[in-house]
């Protein structure tokens, strides 16, 4: 991996809520996690990725923030783009004209500077802590 200190983060306005998170989405019926990751990369970035390895799967109970009586299982992978980044990398959070459901923008997060509070969801915060520990020895 060329730069072990930077990760892609996504600023989204969804379900009438601002959120900053690691990019991703839901798995479709009949799809495996790796296939889902490749599909989501094409949908969100319009770029192919190479999966490096599985990184973490939720090992705690996490209630869904949006759907009553649902829980989440999140699967994280380390991956890299197969070519140069061709999508816009913003320098500011929520780099879109209006807070409209479905709008999103992407930024580079620097593991050396990111704080847990920079991410909206508890599982993303756990993974950020793991990345800091693994790559920064924090």
Contact between 54 and 65 (Cβ < 8 Å): no
Indicate the number of domains in the chain: 1
Domain containing 109 — which CATH number? 3.90.79.10
In-domain check, residue 1: no
In-domain check, residue 32: yes
31-44 pLDDT, tens digit each: 999 999 999 999 99
Q: Cα–Cα distances in Å, from 64 out to 67, 68, 137?
A: 6, 7, 31
First to last CA, the chain: 20
Range of the domain at 107: 6-136
Q: pTM of the entire structure?
A: 0.90
In-domain check, residue 66: yes
The full DSSP string for 46-87 is SS-EEEEEEEEE--S--B-SSSTT-B---EEEEEEESSS--S
2-58 pLDDT, tens digit each: 467 899 999 999 999 999 999 998 999 999 999 999 999 999 999 999 999 999 999
In-domain check, residue 92: yes
């Amino acid at each position: 991996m060329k730069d072990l200190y930077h990760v892609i983060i996504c600023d989204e306005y969804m379900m009438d809520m601002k959120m900053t998170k690691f990019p991703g989405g839901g798995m479709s019926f009949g799809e495996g996690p790796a296939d889902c990751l490749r599909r989501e990369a094409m949908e969100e970035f319009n770029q192919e990725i190479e999966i490096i390895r599985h990184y973490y799967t939720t090992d705690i109970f996490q209630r869904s923030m949006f759907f009553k009586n649902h829980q989440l299982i999140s699967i994280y992978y380390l991956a890299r783009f197969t070519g140069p980044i061709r999508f816009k990398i913003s320098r500011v959070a929520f780099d879109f004209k209006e807070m409209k459901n479905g709008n999103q923008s992407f930024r580079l997060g620097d593991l050396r500077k990111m704080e847990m509070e920079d991410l909206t969801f508890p599982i993303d915060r756990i993974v950020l802590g793991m990345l800091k520990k693994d790559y920064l020895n924090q």
